[in-house]
Amino acid sequence: MAHIDENPLGRHLPLDPLPGHSSRGRLERVLRRGEFAVTAELNPPDSANPDDVYERAAIFDGWVDGINAVDASGANCHMSSVGICALLTRMGYAPIMQIACRDKNRIAIQGDVLGAAAMGVTNIMCLTGDGVQAGDQPGAKPVFDLDCMSLLETVRTMRDNSKFLSGRKLTTPPQVFLGAAINPFAPPYDFRPLRLAKKIEAGAQFVQSQYCFDVPMFKRYMDRVRDLGLDEKCYILVGVGPMASAKTANWIRNNVPGIHIPDAVIKRLEGAQDQKKEGKQLCIDIINEVKEIKGVSGIHVMAYRQEEYVAEIVHDSGVLKGRTPWKRERNPGDDTVQQRIEDLKDGKTENQEQMAETAAHHPH
Amino acid sequence: MTRSVWSRWSRPGAGTMSDLKPADKPVKGNAAPAKKATTGAYTPSGVSPNRRARRSYTIRLWSVRHSRFLEWFYHRFADLFLLLHPLWKALGYNRVEAPITFVERNVKGLLFDCRMCGQCVLSSTGMSCPMNCPKQLRNGPCGGVRANGNCEVEPDMPCVWVKAWEGSRNMVKGDAIMNVQKPVNQSLRETSSWLRVTAQAAEAKEAAAKDA
């Protein structure tokens, strides 16, 4: 039987857009169908080897609905999110491309959005990004030309109005599902739900939260979110992840901005025989608690340097309810590539004079 | 000017250039975090490595606490400026730009630590200037705000958006904080936002008068 998110005419064909959907992506399909979505974060390699990306993505095969390609998270230098997305879309994965406002101005960002959509990226997540001071190169010049809110609005305008920020027309708008980040665990707590409202107004269709270790605090946040009716306007994915040890948790608490870890979590990890196993169990327990909260549409698993546990965590928490997320899909650009490979095989070479002649007579 | 700055450094007893060179032995304590950071030494996360972060925020915080008064005052002030529109027009907006910018920079600089972005949104941000945010966020706090309400980048500075939220709650039109702000137009930097607002208001008034 064909997978529900496959083209009924064959797996090798690209998906048709559904009415009311803003992208052709499967993450949007899963969320709009009301299924519990699972996304994971790919640890970006510090190398120029594409196999590093493929290996890290293969771990998630068949377990997640989307893979986040992070944009120098924590202001530490890694392979760029555009590069990772280029590789992943080529192999038929569905990345969620993160764009941070720290490193690029509005000109670069709008160009990247078009490029990404052309490569087959269907999900874009708009972030402000950590300050350069948090990273390995604190002397870098912080850009922050846009902020996450104006970035959301920019991409939304590009998609819905086919226009750049300047008002110049786009011939083909980028069809993307727009995401944003939320952090319910940082002050000012009473403003946080309103900030989500603002992000939705600016264009956010789904949000992924910061690591959730304090479920009661998250519940209070969600109460307010439901009061404002925001859970109906936006899909909320809760950020979860295993902690390798109490020491790591302590380090994160003291050094990574914006992550709130209550004392009880550290105590629980410290008390365990096998801290790594306990960290995983804690993550599963949190998933089981948050998945019951009304308005939560999925989880976002951030298992930094423990990516191999994602499958286990997803399996043990049973969030997929027997559903198998699709594996790899066909990229809309595959036909062109295939044509070119066949031409090469047939020994067909390009005649540049002929090509110039054709181009001259058929501009675009 | 340059000379006086230099003479301060070279004055005997006030420290010499050799003091500024990285110390050979590791610096202990955090009395001078900026100096310590230049040596490449580990600086704990709770201490700002830059000098600006260790200044006092007294007046800026006063402005936020008195956001309602300042809102009231600004409305009167804006009305006055609009009344003076014929004067600005007679003198030429271009000609008054420089002196007004000077006054605006110093008044707002004192009260709000204004950065002269030239497109003031203080009325929408609880009288807490968003350009003081190290990320210059104009739409709300980032996710990195510390549990004590301080900035993630400058640990000693109260997050301008935590303050903005508090300030906006005191204001009559505090809900303007919910407006999605456009990206900053960098070409308006160092220009007078008072004059721009006045010119726009006058234009709108004239257009309305023409329609009627």
B39 touches chain A (CB under 8 A): no
What is the tens place of the pLDDT at every residue in A300-329?
Answer: 999 998 999 999 999 999 999 988 887 777
Residue A361, both tokens: 């007579």
Residue A165, both tokens: 């920020």
A228 touches chain B (CB under 8 A): no
Cα separation, A252 vs A225, whole angstroms: 27
- HSE-up (13 A, CA, CB side) for residue A239: 24
The ipTM, to two decimals, is 0.77
pLDDT of residue B9: 41
Pairing status of strand A37-42 against strand A123-127: unpaired
Q: Which residue type is seen at B117?
A: C
Task: State yes or no: pLDDT of B12 exceeds 80.
Answer: no
To probe the interface with A, which of B48, B145, B169, B181 has the most A CB atoms within 10 Å? B145
Nearest alpha carbon to residue A152 among A116, A187, A177: A177
Rg from Cα positions in chain B? 22
The residues pairing with A163 across neighbouring beta strands, listed in sequence order, are A169
What is the tens place of the pLDDT at every residue in A166-190?
Answer: 999 999 999 999 999 999 999 999 9
Selected from 3.40.50.2300, 3.30.300.30, 3.20.20.220, 3.50.50.60, the CATH number assigned to the domain covering A26-332 reads 3.20.20.220
- Mean pLDDT of all residues in chain B? 83
Taking the CA of residue B120 and the nearest CA in chain A, the distance in Å comes to 16
| Predicted structure pTM score | 0.83
- With an 8 Å Cβ cutoff, are B140 and A191 in contact? yes
Closest residue in B to A186 (Cα) is B145
A positions 291-310 inside 8 Å of B (CB): none
Question: Cβ–Cβ contacts within 10 Å for residue A189, how many?
Answer: 16
Q: Which residue type is seen at B134?
A: P
- With an 8 Å Cβ cutoff, are B152 and A147 in contact? no
Which of chain A's residues have a Cβ under 8 Å away from the Cβ of B175? Answer: none
Cα separation, B212 vs B205, whole angstroms: 11
Residue B184, both tokens: 């900053």
B136 touches chain A (CB under 8 A): yes
pLDDT of residue A66: 95
What is the tens place of the pLDDT at every residue in B29-78?
Answer: 555 666 666 766 666 555 555 555 456 788 999 999 999 999 999 999 99
- With an 8 Å Cβ cutoff, are B141 and A197 in contact? no
- With an 8 Å Cβ cutoff, are A144 and B144 in contact? no
Buried b (16+ CB within 10 A) or exposed e, A52-76: bbeebbebbeebbbbbbbbbbbbbe
Taking the CA of residue B45 and the nearest CA in chain A, the distance in Å comes to 6
Q: Find the Cα–Cα–Cα–Cα dihedral B182, B184, B189, B191, rounded to 10°.
A: 0
Cα separation, A68 vs A74, whole angstroms: 15
- With an 8 Å Cβ cutoff, are A210 and B143 in contact? yes
Q: Find the Cα–Cα–Cα–Cα dihedral B55, B61, B62, B66, rounded to 10°.
A: 160
- With an 8 Å Cβ cutoff, are B149 and A187 in contact? yes
H or E segment at A40?
strand A37-42
Question: Of B49, B162, B180, which has the smallest distance from its Cβ to A187's Cβ?
Answer: B162
Which of chain B's residues have a Cβ under 8 Å away from the Cβ of A255? Answer: 45
B143 touches chain A (CB under 8 A): yes
- In this structure, what are the phi and psi dihedrals at residue A66, rounded to the nearest 5 degrees? -165, 150
Contact B77, B70 (CB under 8 A): no
What is the tens place of the pLDDT at every residue in A277-308?
Answer: 999 999 999 999 999 999 999 999 999 989 99
Q: Any idea where the domains of chain A sit in the sequence?
A: 26-332
B54 touches chain A (CB under 8 A): no
Residue B104, both tokens: 């605006």
